[in-house]
């Protein structure tokens, strides 16, 4: 049986985000990085392992990690 990597979609609600940088700091695989003006961006969606650390630690509840089915 072949195992397949699960894919996750990271959604950042920029209306709530206050650009604190916690999500990019806590991401173990650097799927989220700080872009211009400290705005978080998804560097590579395939890097996300679905650990949910960014979603849990976001003080603004601006991140939603979803399993792509």
Per-residue pLDDT 10s for the chain (69 aa) are 556 889 999 999 999 999 999 999 999 999 999 999 999 999 999 999 999 999 999 999 999 999 998
26 within some domain: yes
41 within some domain: yes
57 lies in which domain range? 7-68
Looking at residue 4, its pLDDT comes to 80
Residue located via tokens 């940088």: 21
Looking at residue 34, its pLDDT comes to 96
* CATH number for position 13: 3.30.70.20
Coil, strand, or helix at residue 38? helix
Helix (H) or strand (E) segment spanning residue 55: helix 53-57
Looking at residue 10, its pLDDT comes to 96
1 within some domain: no
Looking at residue 59, its pLDDT comes to 97
Looking at residue 32, its pLDDT comes to 97
Could you tell me the pTM of the whole model?
Answer: 0.86
Q: Give the number of domains in the chain.
A: 1
């Amino acid at each position: 049986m072949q195992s397949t990597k699960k894919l996750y979609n990271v959604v950042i609600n920029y209306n709530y985000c206050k650009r604190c940088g916690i999500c990019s700091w806590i991401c173990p695989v650097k799927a989220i990085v700080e872009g211009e003006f400290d705005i978080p961006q998804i560097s590579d969606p395939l890097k996300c392992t679905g650990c949910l650390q960014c979603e849990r630690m976001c003080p603004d509840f601006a991140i939603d990690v979803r399993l792509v089915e």
